[in-house]
Amino acid sequence: MRLDILTLFPEMFTGPFDHSIIKRARNKGIVDISLLNIRDFSTNKHKTVDDYAYGGGSGMVMMVEPIALAIDHLKAERTYDEVIFLTPDGELFSQGTANYLSTRENLIILCGHYKGIDERIREKYITREISIGDYVLSGGELAAMILCDSIIRIIPGVLNDETSALSDSFQNNLLSPPVYTRPAEFKGMKVPDVLLSGNEKEIQKWREEMAYKRTMEKRPGLQLD
Ligand code: ADE
């Protein structure tokens, strides 16, 4: 999979993309992440990327031209499955969308800033608008990192234990059951006997029951799209 991220702050991605699972996926060659600075596509001498909104009002708007040039530049190289824009007014991100996107080949991910981006970019280039939740971030970068992390970790071959991504919370519309590790007793609190029993069938049954119970208690309305 190839992910091309368009941003005004490529440096923000170092750290999250250089550790743990994403680092491993990159090192294995399973995912190729490229960060493009939108400012590099500005055609004026001050490298301006934003301007006042027509009609007035507070806040600057990201200009159409640098973003259009950046996307055209990428599209001249290869075909993209989706051009995603991270925005609080997009569709709410879910495990279902992460599963779908993880099966794609090439994605462009556009991070907005300031008051928004010129609407003509959305009309002409964007195929999918995604929000990571009903709150406003100062830019799309953190949202893009969350999107990328959730997509990359479920690509086959990224996690060592291939089944572990499938048993995550939200897969099957259920939250994950509780987990324990050594010691078997801590400050009088014991690990449930069934987990120490070695009886695979009983353990599986217990996990399913607990996943269901947890979902009913914590997130009774959980839905997958
Ligand atoms: N940019 C700003 N807020 C956002 C959100 N909640 N989701 C995605 N992108 C955003």
CATH for 178: 1.10.1270.20
- Report the alpha-carbon distance of residue 43 to residue 83 in Å, rounded: 22
- Report the alpha-carbon distance of residue 82 to residue 148 in Å, rounded: 14
| Mutation probe of ligand 1 site: the residue of 132, 147, 150 with most atoms within 8 A of C-beta | 132
Q: What is the pLDDT of residue 149?
A: 98
Residues 6+ apart with CB under 8 A from 7: 13, 35, 36, 37, 38, 111, 140, 141, 144
Read off φ and ψ for residue 49, nearest 5 degrees.
-125, -5
Picking from 4-18, 81-95, 159-173, which range would have the lowest pLDDT averaged per residue? 159-173
> Ligand 1 centre and the CA of 69: distance in Å?
23
95 & 12 share domain: yes
28 & 127 share domain: yes
Residues 99-123, mean pLDDT to the nearest whole number: 96
Q: What is the mean pLDDT of the chain?
A: 95
Structural domain harbouring 213: 169-224
- Among 91, 121, 152, identify where a domain stops: 152
141 & 181 share domain: no
> Ligand 1 centre and the CA of 88: distance in Å?
4
29 & 123 share domain: yes
101 against 167, higher pLDDT:
101
Which residues line ligand 1 at a C-beta cut-off of 6 Å? 86-88, 131-133, 135-137, 140, 143
pLDDT band at 188 (very low <50, low <70, confident <90, very high): very high
Residues 168-191, mean pLDDT to the nearest whole number: 93
pLDDT band at 102 (very low <50, low <70, confident <90, very high): very high
For the chain, percent helix, then strand, then coil, each to nearest 5? Answer: 40, 20, 40
| Mutation probe of ligand 1 site: the residue of 87, 92, 138, 145 with most atoms within 8 A of C-beta | 87
Residues 84-94, mean pLDDT to the nearest whole number: 97
Q: Would you say residue 7 lies in a domain? A: yes
105 & 21 share domain: yes
Q: Would you say residue 163 lies in a domain? A: no
Q: What is the pLDDT of residue 59?
A: 92
Helix (H, G, I), strand (E, B) or coil at 26: helix
% residues pLDDT > 90 (the chain) = 90
- Report the alpha-carbon distance of residue 61 to residue 131 in Å, rounded: 19
Alpha-carbon 132 to chain mean position: 8
127 & 53 share domain: yes
114 & 220 share domain: no
What single letter denotes the amino acid at residue 6? L
Q: What is the pLDDT of residue 167?
A: 73
Contact by Cβ (8 Å): 28, 152 = no
pLDDT at 121 over 70: yes
Nearest CA to ligand 1 atom 5: 88
pLDDT at 49 over 50: yes
Q: What is the pLDDT of residue 165?
A: 78
- Among 117, 152, 187, identify where a domain stops: 152
203 & 132 share domain: no
- Nearest atom in ligand 1 to the alpha carbon of residue 133 is 6
DSSP assignment of 144-183? HHHHHHHHHTTSTTSSSSHHHHHTSTTGGG-PPPP---S-
> Ligand 1 centre and the CA of 138: distance in Å?
8
- The total of structural domains in the chain comes to 2
Contact by Cβ (8 Å): 13, 5 = yes
pLDDT at 225 over 50: no
Q: What is the pLDDT of residue 114?
A: 84
Instruction: Give the CATH number of the domain where residue 94 resides.
Output: 3.40.1280.10
Among candidate residues 109, 110, 105, 97, the one with its CA nearest the CA of residue 79: 105
pLDDT at 163 over 70: no
Residues 6+ apart with CB under 8 A from 63: 42, 48, 49, 50, 51, 118
Q: Would you say residue 158 lies in a domain? A: no
pLDDT band at 223 (very low <50, low <70, confident <90, very high): low
